[in-house]
Amino acid sequence: MQRVCVSIGSTSLDDTLAAVDRAAPLADVVEIRLDHLSVPVVSPFMTAVQRPLLFTNRPEWEGGGYCGPEEERIAPLCEALCQGASYVDLELLAPLESRQVLLREVEKSAQGRLILSWHQFQGTPSFQELVGRMALMQDAGADIGKIVTTAHGPADVRSVLRLLEEAARLNFPLIAFCMGRAGVISRVASVELGGYMTYCAAHETEITAPGQLSVTTLRRIESLMGGEQP
């Protein structure tokens, strides 16, 4: 099953809800970037969105907007799981206690799944290091892994997409693609090659990561490739 996740990163609740309303018909999953919201709330989205929801509260040290105490960062993610969110995203390098708290909430929830993520904004490490990162995610109890690097050329893209073969061999659901101009093609190719999910923006003016396509553009490319739209 191909999953297109539309990432929403507006600062106001009203703007975020409006963006969700526009994008949801083309989305398989909707990501709410709590770290972009001026007030990180969960409950308004649970009734307003008729799509599986992913909540992320990305810290500044991994390219996000959150800069407060760690306990306060994790609290809305726990709340999201309690209220029935399908996914929460936590950084692989987050404190062990944060991961343990979320793993306990996932275990109690009916459908919640934990994505452990790792982002590299400077470039793409060796294939061996990427495999190592994926192994750490598995060992840490991730339901799904997410490895996103920055591509400076075709070799970087090939290395990250090759990682999907290793994930399939291990039967480990993995999100893997590259940021940046050179990595745009990987955002499309990833789900075609077995990636669990790819990310796009609600609109060209609302991207949340370098090289991100809009959901309209991504769906148009899928249509040209012969894929089915939702």
Catalytically annotated residues: 119, 146
Residue recorded with tokens 């809800």: 17
Going across the sheet that includes 87-91, the strands are 174-179, 144-150, 113-119, 87-91, 53-56, 29-33, 4-8, 198-201
Cβ neighbors of 210 (< 8 A, separation 6 or more) are 150, 179, 180, 181
Cβ neighbors of 134 (< 8 A, separation 6 or more) are 145, 147, 163, 166, 167, 170, 172, 174
Which one-letter amino acid corresponds to residue 181? R
Paired tokens of 169: 């061999």
Q: Which residues does residue 87 pair with via DSSP β-bridges, in sequence order?
A: 54, 113
